[in-house]
Amino acid sequence: MDINGKTILVTGANSGLGAAVAARLAEGGTNVVGLDIGTGSAAEFSERFGEKVVLLEADVTSSADCSRAVAAAQSRFGGLHGAVNCAGVAPAQAVLGKDGPHDLELFNRVVSINLTGTFNIMRLVAEAIVEAEPGPDGERGVIVNTASIAAYEGQIGQAAYAASKGGVASLTLPAARELARSGIRVVAIAPGAFETPMIAAMPQKVKDSMGAKVPFPPRLGQPEEFADLVAAIFTNRMLNGEVIRLDGALRMTAK
């Protein structure tokens, strides 16, 4: 898909991977509707890209919030051609810790945001994409979801996070198979250790240690590198139904 002139919805767009994706798509001529629970970056996006990027406050687990966002994208830009799901949380807690068993409410919250929120956006955006005119090969749109290498090598303390991201990975193929009839591709990215706000808050010594475990390049991934892969997925129509690891060959140990 040629992203120039298209409209793409990006969740978690206020910071981290989502902000990098929003900027990369806008640089390619895309109209971006960013969703997040905060919109503090709105002024910066406006200064850089003018009216091509709009940030809306929305909870990805809310059907009403996301329905309004999709409608706003269609109304503002005349249609919708894709989505990139970057919204997520990653709290750590043991299944059985010193203070007792894993908090069930926390587990449900992680799955609700990371997995259910992803599905919520995907189903609503897919409904909007089918209204678009098909392009080459009958393609109408692309949906990119964010999994994690924790889906395959979850560490101790990542039970909730790994379960939620494993769900995103498993969702990829059946969704791609079903939406193929509508000309919609579905791809997931499983990033490794990336310098997101969650990691940025850690001491430099800890970040250096995490980066050194990556075979090559021996450093943390940058959000812009994630965004570059997103852009490549949109432009390559043969990428479909796949979970792509973006991790510098990192394989996580137990802890």
Q: What residues act catalytically?
A: 161
118 φψ region: left (φ > 0), alpha (ψ -120 to 50), beta (else):
alpha
> b vs e for 63-95, b when ≥16 Cβ sit within 10 Å of the residue's Cβ?
eebbeebbebbeeebebbbbbbbbbbbbeebee
CA dihedral 14, 17, 151, 207 (to 10 degrees): -110
> What's the Cα-to-Cα distance from 3 to each of 7, 26, 117, 135, rounded to whole Å?
8, 9, 24, 12
As given in the structure block, the two tokens for residue 130 are: 């089918």
For 56-72, give the secondary structure using H, E and C.
Answer: EECCCCCHHHHHHHHHH
- What is the three-class DSSP state of 242? coil
> b vs e for 125-148, b when ≥16 Cβ sit within 10 Å of the residue's Cβ?
bbebbbebeeeeeebbbbbbbbbb
